[in-house]
Amino acid sequence: MRTLREIIKRHLRIITLIMSVVILFSICAMEIVNEQKRACDNAATAFLQIQQTLERNKEELREITTEYSQTCLYNAEAIAYLIQAEPSVSEDMEELKRIAALMEVDEIHIFDKTGRIVAGTHPEYYDYTFDSGEQMSFFKPMLEDRSLKLVQDVTPNTAEGKMMQYSALWSKDGDFILQVGMEPVRLTKVTEKNKLSYIFSMLRIDPAASYYAVHAESGEIVGSTDLVCVGKNLKDIGLQLEDIRDDGAGFHARVNGVGSYCVFGRIGANYIGRVMPDNVLYQRIPMDMAALAICLLLITGILSHAVMWCMNRYVVEGIHSVNEKLRTIAKGNLEESVDIQSSEEFSKLSSYINEMVDSLLANSKKMSYVLSKTNMYIGVYEYNEQMKSVRFTEHIPRILMLEKEESRQLAADSRLFQEFIRQLRSNPVPGEEGVFKLAVQTERYVKLEEICEHNEILGVVIDVTEETVRRRKIEVERDIDSLTGLYNRRGLDSRLERLFAMAENLGHYAVIMIDADGLKDINDNYGHDKGDIYLRKIADTINAFDPQNSVAARQGGDEFVLLIYGYGSQEELDEAVKVMEFIQRHCIAYLDDELRVKLEFSFGCVCAEGNRDYRELLRQADERMYENKRQRKKQRQ
């Protein structure tokens, strides 16, 4: 099982890792959204700049167009005045070219009253009429109305198709129509500036972005920073006209095979789009995420160490201290107190544990008080292998007849107490389960029971002196032969029943039947009182055979029974039986100070092991005893 420190460290690492990943993903998503928003904002700024530039260029174009028209007309009036004042000039081409250069015009054409060019700076145009082309026909109405002064817009001329602006008017005397032509250099430059591709090339908001102008109806690309795309359809670069929205919201698409973020807006008849490649739009995010990940690792590392230090300092160490105190208390040292003040929670826990220990002590006193009110003195003791001391109730010293100093010594040393109990167990009361006689001058008996669980020993000691003495007296009166002090037939049956109920504890054993020989002769020759002494001598002899591992009884008259048990092997039991044979041959009985007779008896023995029917054993031993008696009688004859 893992420690609390390991569990906290593992879960802290998992939580910080999850939090770091969530933060990284969240910030990455926010960065992506921010970059897209920045792209939309930059697109909006660019669109506004384009719209303002278009409006400014249109205004400039209008102003220059008006200026060109007026200048062109003023120049025509001035030249017409000069020619009318000096008609010979119309015949001199070189003079006309000088006047054109002086007036900053490019062409001078003189029409007759029928509308045919008859003179001018460009003889290649002679004989052209107002019916020579669409551009020329613009001035035909002047033939009907001589008050007209016409200025034509910049138009490709009829002869060469080059862009020119022409103005025409009648001379004051009505003899000719004068037309001047000017190449619109400034006007062309302003017109070029008003083209979307030119405007896109002038944008400096973000050089990495590409701009497209798409006709809203046809989808034709009418302008772009990528001039190769001009004239293509929107589908040719990977976009669909129906995907374009003019609300300023962006979308992802592949433009010219490159993943890009596109933002479009409507300006006039065109959609204006800003296209930014994804690798450029999001190029800062990987580096930012890497830097953020390093920062998060550092922060989580520092935070983890700080949290673990706090946990160790204020939680884990406190728990270890409480555990040590509880381990000491569990070993039986209820005098131990817990006092952990590292936090309010541990302070309360310490208080609750101390209250629990006080309650246990109080319960022990209450139990002693309750037991003292019974007719029996009952004491309880408790210790374990790790405890140095022993806890017992106040009746233990009284029941075990301990002096005050002896009681204090036994309570302070568990090993000394265990030795005391071992000595107590060495003096069991025969026939009494768990009852022992105290080694004191007065007759004192106690019943002792111990429960051992998980190296914890709980003992209960009961003073059974009065009960035992009373029972033994009853047993003596009921089960003991008054003449010999041995068990009578009833006592023998009762004792054998108990022993053979646990025959596995008997080991190797022998049942011996004994019959006193010559009792009638002693009664006849010396009296019955001497006969009684003779029987008591036999009883004393067999009762002393092995008092710890034997049962001796008088069956009645001159018959006796002896059970010897607890031998480890058949050989040991055979040796014991040989002792009985020796006694049979050599024992002497003193009937009084001067009278002694040979102690004679016949016996039959049956050896056995394990669970057997003791009645059958008694019967077999009785048969062997009578066989022995017959053999002895034959020997005496």
Residue 338 has pLDDT above 80, yes or no: no
Nearest to 133 by CA among 111, 153, 108, 161: 161
pLDDT tens per residue, range 382-410 = 887 666 788 787 788 888 888 888 888 88
Residue 511: pLDDT band with limits 50, 70, 90: very high
Q: How many helices (H) and strands (E) does the chain have?
A: 18, 22
SS (H, E, C) 332-394: CCCCCCCCCCCCHHHHHHHHHHHHHHHHHHHHHHHHHHHHHCCCCCEEEEEEECCCCCCEECC
Residue 116: pLDDT band with limits 50, 70, 90: very high
Output the pLDDT for position 361.
61
Q: Distance between CA 79 and CA 244 in Å, rounded?
A: 56
Average the pLDDT over 50-68 and give the result: 74
For residue 210, the one-letter residue type is: S
Average the pLDDT over 26-45 and give the result: 87
pTM of the model: 0.45
Helix or strand holding residue 508 (H, E) = strand 508-516
pLDDT tens per residue, range 418-446 = 888 888 888 888 767 888 888 877 788 88
Output the pLDDT for position 619.
93
Residue 602 has pLDDT above 70, yes or no: yes
Output the pLDDT for position 512.
92
Output the pLDDT for position 141.
92
Output the pLDDT for position 561.
94
Nearest to 191 by CA among 222, 221, 154: 154
Residue 189: pLDDT band with limits 50, 70, 90: low
Output the pLDDT for position 392.
80
Q: Distance between CA 598 and CA 432 in Å, rounded?
A: 37
Output the pLDDT for position 378.
82
